[in-house]
Structure 1
Amino acid sequence: MTEIDNSGVDQPKGISRRTVTKAMAWSVPAVAVAASVPAYAASPGIITLDGRACKLPGRSNDTYKGYAFGIIVTNPYNVPITVTITNIELGGSTLAPFTIVNLDGCTLVGTSGVVPAMTTLDNLVVLTSDAADSANDILSANYTITGGPGGSEEISAAVPVTPPVNGASCDDFTTAEKDCLETFVVPAT
């Protein structure tokens, strides 16, 4: 006897694919797992390091024993968000004090700033002072987000070779950008 489906086409004898599929669905237990995950967890992060880095060594300028790290801040949400950097460490040593400088216009932002909805700020620099040493290591930063989904995130990346910002050895920043960075004294915490 031949099994016929609704289309009127003859099916081969034996077990149908539909029967096998039904059996498989019942043989695997259904487990529902719910986890509280912030909406931005799947994104690469609000703040990313862009790979630019230079040292501010010794007493060569007003910012003593510091670093300049290029960052990109992205707000993928339809509402403004406030991003506050709460901590920066290099190789486990805290880099404080620190501030953010917007190289577009050479303006001091501070440790917190509002990012308009659906905006990327791609010419920012975290400027630090009073580093324990000038070694290249793993840089990590913690920051909070107010508005949008809220919450906090952490970034971590290996710091590239960081030549002194003075002179020609640091070519990650233009001459005008280096001149801008050298005008700021990182406020004490």
Structure 2
Amino acid sequence: MSENDESAGISRRTVTKAMAWVVPAVAVAATVPIVAASACNDFNPENPCPITLSGTGCKLPGNSNSIYKGYAFRLVIANPTGATITVNVTSATLDGNSLGGIRVVNLNDGSSQGNPFTVPPHTTYTAALLTQNAPNSSNGALSITYTVNGGAPMVANATIPSAPPINGNSCSTFNSTEKGYIAAQ
């Protein structure tokens, strides 16, 4: 049979050309699930994203609170798994600038959590991420990097369009009870 014998159907050359395209496509397709598996997912109990940022926050200016020259950002912390997880916030930046020390306050009951902190199984609560000794008081792109149970770093991002001072009525991110919890830190 010749290489281009029409009666035989598809030629060997055509099969060879097709194989040259199929093999790289299979290799590329095989890497996609690996990348997807390393990303956290709120719906995957094996690899949850426990921190979700609301995109809102207030400044902690001057000596207005015991924690000052920082921010209070609203977030939700969730653990959909059946086991306690440990969350360690490794950095918090605003427009690439470090926001200094970090503390988490459970806004449901006012309890303070250091860093790292644990989240009981099947628990979701609203919290405030408090920072201290920020280099300036700007608004911008908030980025929080953290690990769960010492695993690979995860990142939560949000744009903070404004961050008014926490004292007074201009900060509507937190109600008066929540502001009291924050001030007690």
Please report the TM-score for the alignment, with normalisation by the length of structure 2: 0.75
Structure 2 match to 1:143: 146
For 2:147, give the aligned amino acid: T
Structure-2 change in CA distance of 1:39 and 1:116 (3 Å):
farther
- Alignment of 1:127 onto 2:122: no
Structure-2 change in CA distance of 1:75 and 1:38 (3 Å):
farther
Listed one character per residue, the Cα deviations across residues 76-96 of structure 1 (whole Å, up to 9, x for unaligned) are 333221111111111111111
For 2:163, give the aligned amino acid: T
- Between Structure 1 and Structure 2, the one with more helix by share is 2
Structure 1 match to 2:67: 63
For 1:151, give the aligned amino acid: A
Listed one character per residue, the Cα deviations across residues 126-182 of structure 1 (whole Å, up to 9, x for unaligned) are 0111111111011111101117xx322011221131111101111111111111111
Contact 2:55 2:158 in 1 (8 A): no
Contact 2:55 2:159 in 1 (8 A): no
Structure 2 match to 1:171: 172
Alignment of 1:1-189 (within 5 A): 29=22, 31-32=26-27, 33-34=30-31, 36-37=34-35, 39=37, 41=39, 43=41, 45-121=49-125, 123-146=126-149, 150-184=151-185
Structure 2 match to 1:187: none
Please report the TM-score for the alignment, with normalisation by the length of structure 1: 0.74
In structure 2, C-alpha distance between the alignment counterparts of 1:42 and 1:175, rounded to whole Å: 33
In structure 2, C-alpha distance between the alignment counterparts of 1:144 and 1:38, rounded to whole Å: 17
- Give the unaligned 5+ runs of structure 2: 1-17, 43-48
In structure 2, C-alpha distance between the alignment counterparts of 1:159 and 1:95, rounded to whole Å: 14
For 2:66, give the aligned amino acid: D
3-state SS of the aligned residue for 2:153? strand
1:109 CA displacement? 0.5
Most deviating of 154-163 and 27-36: 27-36
- Give the unaligned 5+ runs of structure 1: 1-26, 185-189
In structure 2, C-alpha distance between the alignment counterparts of 1:117 and 1:53, rounded to whole Å: 27
Contact 2:141 2:158 in 1 (8 A): yes
In structure 2, C-alpha distance between the alignment counterparts of 1:76 and 1:38, rounded to whole Å: 19
Shift >4 Å, 4+ stretches? none
1:34 CA displacement? 3.5
1:42 CA displacement? 5.4
3-state SS of the aligned residue for 1:124? strand
For 1:168, give the aligned amino acid: N
Root mean square deviation, CA, Å: 2.5
Contact 2:69 2:132 in 1 (8 A): yes
Over alpha carbons, which structure has the higher Rg? 1
Structure-2 change in CA distance of 1:135 and 1:63 (3 Å):
same
Identity %: 39
For 1:131, give the aligned amino acid: A
